[in-house]
Chain A
Amino acid sequence: MNQNYHDHQIKEPVGWLDKPEAVRRFFFAIYLICGVLLVAEFFLISAENAHPHPLEESVRFLVYPMYGFISFWFLVLVAKPMRKLLIRSEDYYERGSDDAE
């Protein structure tokens, strides 16, 4: 998929996403935000946790960043083989009921 988004020909009008520099800046902003949030983790050590979850008590550090990142990968890595099993043509249901493949 990634190739499609970078190799397409730019069409008029030119948008900010058509400029590679703008895309790079956008990604840099995300990385920067992630970095800041990693630093913010140190402030949580002293912050009160009114509703602690056992996961937070056992792992103690970077629970949420890891959970968010791994969740996305897990989601996609499970969905991809699901697609092989479940994918059908768009007119699958209009093709009559002779087969239940």
Chain B
Amino acid sequence: MLSSLPPFVLFFVGAVVIAFTRGTARKVLILAIPLVGGLNLWFGVEPGLHLQFDLIGYTLTPYRADKLSLLFGYLFHLAAFLGFVYALHLGDGTPEGSVAGEVGEDDIVGNASAGLQHVAAMVYAGSALGAVFAGDFITLFIFWELLAISSVFLVWARKSERSYATGFRYLIIHVISGVLLLSGALMLAHETGSIEFGHVGLVGTGAAGWILLLSFGIKAGFPLLHNWITEAYPESTPTGTVFLSAFTTKVAVYALARSFVGTDVLIYIGTAMTFFPIFYAVLENDLRRVLGYSMINQIGFMVAGIGIGTGMAVNGAVAHAFADVIFKGLLFMSMGAVMTMTGRTKGTDLGGIYKTMPFTAGLCIVGASAISAFPLFSAFVTKSMIMVAAIEEHHYIVWLFMLFASAGVLEHAGIKIPFFSFFAHDSGIRAKEPPRNMLIAMSIGAVLCVLIGVFPTQFYTLLPYEMDYHPYDLRHVVTQLQLLAFGALGFITLVKSGVYPDEKRAIHVDAEWLYRKAGPWLAGTVGRAVTRVDVYVRSSVLEFVGSIMHGAERTHGPVGPLAKSWPTGSMVLWVAILLVAYLLFYL
């Protein structure tokens, strides 16, 4: 019976139930829901149309399963399970050994909003599942908006003024994405008569194709549309960011893989995404914002792979999305653990905590190795498919940019994140290891990073397209190790020579400046100019009207000549004069 229900149903029903439960019952439920749902999907669901009906002349398909949607379905169940294991301690009070209270934020770990986070995360995960199993654009739109509405509560759960403001901006951006999705879908339906969520492309679809691409691009973090990621992720709670990093952007990658495979412009957009964030990542002080930039960089590889469009490239893109949810989740979890226990996430404030948090440091290094694509770790067997596909399709310049971006990944995620948080200078912070559930979630993530890297053939069977690719050959292993080892050597020489930039207590403005500073400034300036013109026009008109009134008063007022009453005698005199004049002329 469960296998005939769309996967989101279990999560939505579960969200209602956990809203009314507390303590152990809630803990059991939040673990059981993704576990049962995932096992059901793995063992009980075959590809096909499982739920379809007609409504107001359109065919809605809330439950369509194929290899692509099933892969993301497994992934989202796994991500939800890991996230809930990680969030299991919420509501238990401040963890033992935490020094987070020293920094003055009352509820930095979000304990006070434990119920809110659990429910919001459950709806959020369900919405992501609803989106990937949607077979039509209307269903996709509904879950697209639910993703935004549910996830914003994970930002607001931080309960700080900054997180409230960030959440509102996040919500506005995602609602705009949803409105664009609906507009594009309706235009497409008008042109083709179908709302099927399938290949769209930019050829022959007119404005509808571009509007849909823009909608997906907002959620995927296309250049200039990416700052909701770098704003919201650092402002959420430690657990909230783990969920945020798993779903929204990956739903967008799925949507692009579904509708825009082989769209050339994506190759260049994706390459730009791999390239520009790594410069920001070098400079940023907030390590969760560094991971936000890292997220855009990794999605860039996926977007470029979808743009290249061959079977291996798309396999690489979706496989890398799968791996990214796990290794990026692991990195966000490790930074969340640091934040939970120390109250800090900035490079300037951290360092030396490997002494008291060695397990967390070790698990973070596993995540860093995975994202850096060291052999035997997950990205080595996923990202390389995209790189090989780029060469096979003769995108040589694109490949060079990607190789540079790969070195950049090692710099910011492979070295900077663990180095500045756990090593570097000793900050004197002596926080203990995080709660056991956090360590378990991170350990599962770390094991998966290694399993995918060590057993790629088994993982490749889940991918949507047939291919013949073997990541472990001598040349690939040696050249990748050379790139990484000499990149690390470059880092050492940069640090030893004093060229590597200091971490500074500062921010670096990005495209968010346009809507956070330039927009309000422009609105204020235009508003003031309009006010000045308005005042001038009003005063001129009033002055003109006043002068007319004054003139009328002069002639028609109480003492005006036209307001005088004439005596009857003078009138008779004038009548007599006129009569005499008439008689004289007539005669």
Report the nearest A residue to B408, measured CB to CB: A75
Residues B468-488 near A (CB distance < 8 A): 473-475, 478-488
In the complex, A71→B506 CA distance in Å? 25
Contacts A18-B426, A44-B478, A65-B482; A82 near B283 (Cβ below 8 A): yes
Main secondary structure on A side of the interface with B: helix
Residues A1-37 near B (CB distance < 8 A): 1-5, 8-11, 13-15, 17-18, 27, 30-31, 33-34, 37
Check A75 against B355 for contact (C-beta < 8 Å).
no
Residues A69-101 near B (CB distance < 8 A): 69-80, 82-83, 86-90, 92-94, 97-100
In the complex, A17→B278 CA distance in Å? 27
Report the nearest B residue to A79, measured CB to CB: B282
Report the nearest A residue to B353, measured CB to CB: A15
Contact of B521 among A18, A55, A70, A98 (CB under 8 A): A98
A56 → B minimal CB distance (Å): 9
Check B485 against A34 for contact (C-beta < 8 Å).
yes
Main secondary structure on B side of the interface with A: helix
In the complex, A90→B234 CA distance in Å? 13
In the complex, A74→B407 CA distance in Å? 11
Whether a CB of chain A sits under 8 angstroms from the CB of B490 is yes
Check A66 against B517 for contact (C-beta < 8 Å).
no
Contact of B490 among A63, A68, A93 (CB under 8 A): A68
Write out, one digit per residue, whether chain B residues 502-533 have a CB within 8 A of any chain A CB (1) or not (0).
11111111100000111011101000000000
Complex interface: chain A residues within 8 A of B355 (CB): 13-15
Check B425 against A48 for contact (C-beta < 8 Å).
no
Contacts A43-B478, A71-B490; A33 near B485 (Cβ below 8 A): yes
- Contact residue range for chain A? 35 or more
Residues B329-359 near A (CB distance < 8 A): 352, 354-356
Contacts A5-B424, A71-B487, A87-B504; A47 near B473 (Cβ below 8 A): yes
Contacts A47-B475, A48-B475, A75-B278; A93 near B516 (Cβ below 8 A): yes
Complex interface: chain B residues within 8 A of A88 (CB): 506-509
Check B521 against A3 for contact (C-beta < 8 Å).
no
Chain B interfacial positions (CB closer than 8 Å to A): 162, 278-279, 282-283, 352, 354-356, 388, 391-392, 396, 399-400, 403-404, 407-408, 410-411, 423-426, 428, 473-475, 478-510, 516-518, 520-522, 524
A33-B481, A71-B408, A76-B501 given; name 13 further pairs at CB < 8 Å. A1-B498, A1-B502, A2-B495, A2-B498, A5-B495, A34-B486, A37-B481, A53-B391, A64-B486, A72-B411, A79-B279, A82-B283, A90-B506
Chain A interfacial positions (CB closer than 8 Å to B): 1-5, 8-11, 13-15, 17-18, 27, 30-31, 33-34, 37, 40-41, 43-44, 47-55, 62-80, 82-83, 86-90, 92-94, 97-100
Q: Please, could you name 18 A-B residue pairs with CB atoms under 8 Å apart, sorted by A?
A: A1-B501, A15-B426, A31-B489, A37-B478, A51-B391, A54-B396, A55-B400, A64-B483, A64-B486, A69-B486, A69-B487, A69-B490, A71-B403, A72-B490, A72-B494, A82-B279, A89-B506, A97-B516
